[in-house]
Amino acid sequence: MTESKSRPRLPEWLRIKLPTSDGFAQTRDLLDELKLHTVCQSAQCPNHWECWEKGTATFMIAGDRCTRACKFCAVTTAKPLPLEADEPQRVAEATRRMKLRHVVITAVARDDIADGGAEHFRQTIEAVRRLNPRTAIEVLVSDFQGSDASIETVLSARPNIFNHNLETVRRLTPAARHRATYDRSLSVLQKAKAQANAKGGPEIFTKSGIMLGLGERDEEVLAALQDLRAAGCDLLTLGQYLQPSRELLPVQEFVAPAKFAEFKTRAEALGFIHVSSGPLVRSSYHAAEFDPTSARR
């Protein structure tokens, strides 16, 4: 995984169309008005043109400065600013005005805070639900350094989906992820699944995602899928890694759509109840295709 001198040309299946309606500008203006960050912008998601044009976005709470420096991620690494007490309500208002039936809320890693930002997640979930009682809520969290208490804090607000990404296969994890480990991520998902449903109530689904194109082998991907299922993971996303800048890890392979389709079939055979697999798939891309309020095992 060495740095390349020039980034390779994108294959046809990764080309995107720019927005042609006013939807993109309307979404941008709303986010600006409410002073909200999105992973769409901060992580340079290739789908943000499409999503914003359709009036959806993935909110990124707790600021736009991350305490980690993962080698695949474009989010700024810097000393974070203090949490904003009114941010949960602003996210709730944006959800209401965008009329989202499924909202995805993520955050930068906040290792500078004792609970990793878990209480801020809890407050945001509760604010969104008060203003949008029929909206499905999905959270995409960091590993909270494996803290049981932080996981429980988030789950206490009863999000519909608890998402934590494995990101890549075991062998490539040390080169790609900063501070996070493969086994810790699996343990976070396993703990979340156990804690989420121990007290009864509506089922909380667990979800994870893996990037392809970093040099992983097929057998390593399949081993990761098996590890996720062993941890009780219900939902899966598989997407193509794209190099955000020359300072980050280079793409080793542009994985063909047929390979993504093959992995989808293999994942479904392992027991994942919903799999989204394709070159442009990201954790929150078309997340509303899975309805947690009606899906049951």
Question: Got the DSSP string for 115-148?
Answer: TTTHHHHHHHHHHHHHH-TTSEEEEE---GGG-H
Residue 170, CA atoms < 13 Å, CB-side half-sphere: 12
Mean pLDDT by 10 residues, the chain (297 residues): 59 73 84 90 67 79 96 94 98 95 95 98 98 96 97 97 97 97 98 88 93 98 98 97 92 97 98 95 85 75
* Neighbour tally for 64: CB within 10 Å: 17
pTM of the model: 0.93
Identify the pLDDT of residue 3: 45
CATH fold of 22-288:
TIM Barrel (3.20.20)
Which DSSP string do the residues of 199-225 spell out, in sequence order? T-SSPPEEEEEEEE-SS--HHHHHHHH
Q: How distant is the alpha carbon of residue 55 from its chain centre? A: 18
Identify the pLDDT of residue 170: 98
Distance CA 64, CA 32 (A): 14
- In whole angstroms, how far apart are CA 52 and each of 48, 82, 147? 6, 28, 34
Identify the pLDDT of residue 131: 98
Identify the pLDDT of residue 4: 46
Single out the residue of 126, 151, 144 nearest to residue 206, CA to CA. 151
Identify the pLDDT of residue 20: 61
Report domain extents, the chain. 22-288
Distance CA 177, CA 164 (A): 13
Identify the pLDDT of residue 43: 66
